[in-house]
Chain A
Amino acid sequence: MSTTFWVWFGIAVYIAAGLGIALMARRQLGVGVSEFFLANRKVGGFISAMSYSATTYSAFMMVGLAGITYLTGVGALGFELTYLCGMFMMVFFLPRFWLVGKKYGYVSPMELLSDRYQNKGVGATTAILALVFLVPYGAIQLMGVGLLMNGVSGGAIPVWAGIVVGVVCAIAWSSIAGLRSVAWTDAFQAIIMIVTSAAVLGVIIAALGGFSAFFSKLEAASPGLLTVPTAGGAWSINMFIGLALPWLFFLISNPQVSQRLFIPKSVTAMKQMLGGFLIFGFIYTMISVLWGFGATLLVPGLENADLATPKLLSLALIPTGLAIVVMIGITAAAISTIDSILLTLSSVWARDIHKGLINPKVSEKGELRVGQWVIPIMAIIAFGFAWWAADKTGLNFMIAPLASAASAGLLMAVPAIFGAFFWKRATALGAMVSCITGAIVVLIFQLTGVRPLGWWPGTWGFIVCVPLFVIVSLATKPPREKADEFIGYLRGALKKGNFI
């Protein structure tokens, strides 16, 4: 039977297993908004860790990061590990989000901002920011699935068919039981992701003569890829900061991951979530980068570097069965990210825009219904973007820079988030003006390709939005009572838990 048949067979088995898990999760589904979007804040450490890992790590890693490593070398490792180092900030933010989430019953990070700043406009502004910038990020996942299925099948399966598979699964996983089905399928998918990618990396390294021979061949064949900046001009400091800065603050700027800080059931579960994620992330990053370097040796000269992984998987040295299993692992990575994005965006729309601005008196049932409708709508928009971007070429349309561009927009909410937790003088107007202005700067520079002084859009946006946040806050009146109560509560609770 043909490879195409086995690709479809593998996808069918994956969908059946995922559906089975999602339906099992549904049996535990209770009622209410908090239950649907946060699993009632009762998620254990292992599932939290695997779900956080699968949500964070997506097609971006094995397709995008491997692709950019293939094209530009070791700077890609530094860029991705800078993100992981940024997770150090979790020691500050994880307990803070978790504590106030439990105390005040926040469903979305935007709701936290609205309440802390005593202004629903802050939540709505950051919600719109998320809706605008998470669509390209979601679309990237779909592109990854499409490119991969197309590559592994030798072009027999069109890219759009992979995109459709991604959309349908993401809608199903997020709609069936909300966060319960997302988290359970995430855990299943995270295990597939890491086991399958490690297995194929082992095959590649063995084919190249083991680790020592692999590194020797790499040093001999592409020494320029092992330093920064590269001879070809990639990974200047400007490029590194432009890509790494949005990633550094990913843990608080991307609501699909910061919302997860509300869900652990206990401090032990929180510790397991963060510790488990760090171990997973370190291993998965190393695998993805070594994979990209392996591709430079085994499939050199590709025009589109995002095809490095699909081409690697179609080599004769990788058994077809294993290639298909890995393809499913990467598909799982993509879908586990987009379903989380859809679920978060639906909660943000329902809570922060519909209830926050349009219909404050909506019942909990009505709010939930609105959120459930938003899931397929956002999925269709992401599908359209993926379709449009899938046949574009060049660095700006590679998966890694596109992902970073999306996070560059979300980065503009970071000053407001810092202010909420650490600065009593921060104001709603400061938060809104800095978010909106920063996002406009990012969008203009992103769309026009203009990079004054060589700095990337996210860097310029940040340079504009941080001082704006401070200046406008100092010039306006803060919600003093709420700030005292919110930060005062945290001070006491953090001390009790020996958090820093």
Chain B
Amino acid sequence: MTKSAWGWVWFAFLLALDIAIPWYVLTSVEKVSGAFLFWTVWAAVAIISVFVILAKWRGVEG
């Protein structure tokens, strides 16, 4: 698979977690350590993965 395809797969995986965990795993956890903590950590992971990709970009003439 190309790097681009891996990127799309990773993004789709993140979106699947976005629904699956809060609605099906944490739905009865009425605490800050439930959906609130999940979404905070999940978004941080998404952001870090963008930074990993950005670090590889290099200068190019448009």
Contacts and interface: CB of A to CB of B under 8 A. Distances in A.
A271 B62 contact: no
A282 interface: yes
A101 B62 CA distance: 8
B54 to A, nearest CB: 5
Contact of A228 (B35, B54, B60): B35
Contacts, number: 127
A12 interface: no
A498 B2 CA distance: 12
Interface string A265-276: 011101100110
Contact of B60 (A74, A240, A497): A497
Contacts of A286: 40
Nearest to B54: A271
Given A90-B50, A215-B32, A497 B39 contact: no
The bracket for how many chain B residues form the interface is: 35 or more
| Interface class of chain A by DSSP | helix
Nearest to B17: A85
Interface in B8-62: 8, 10-11, 14-15, 18-19, 22-23, 26-32, 34-36, 39-40, 42-44, 46-47, 49-51, 53-54, 56-60, 62
A70 to B, nearest CB: 15
Contact of B44 (A77, A88, A282): A282
Interface stretch (A189-197, A216-224, A329-337): A216-224
Interface stretch (A91-99, A141-149, A399-407): A91-99
Interface in A460-488: none
Interface in A81-125: 81-82, 84-85, 87-92, 95, 98-99, 101-103
A345 B17 CA distance: 36
Contacts of A82: 15, 18
Given A78-B22, A85-B14, A274 B54 contact: yes
B31 A219 contact: yes
A282 B39 CA distance: 11
A237 B23 contact: yes
B46 A88 contact: yes
A89 B26 CA distance: 27
B30 A88 contact: no
B14 A74 contact: no
A496 B54 CA distance: 14
Nearest to B26: A227
Nearest to B32: A215
A229 B23 CA distance: 7
Contact of A74 (B28, B39, B51, B53): B39
A124 B3 CA distance: 35
Contacts of B19: 237, 240-241
Contact of A493 (B40, B46, B57, B60): B60
Interface of A: 74-75, 77-78, 81-82, 84-85, 87-92, 95, 98-99, 101-103, 215, 218-219, 223-224, 226-229, 237, 240-241, 248, 266-268, 270-271, 274-275, 278-279, 282, 285-286, 493, 496-500
| A-B residue pairs, 6 tightest by C-beta | A102-B62, A223-B30, A497-B60, A81-B43, A85-B46, A215-B32
5 contacts: A84-B47, A226-B29, A226-B32, A227-B30, A493-B60
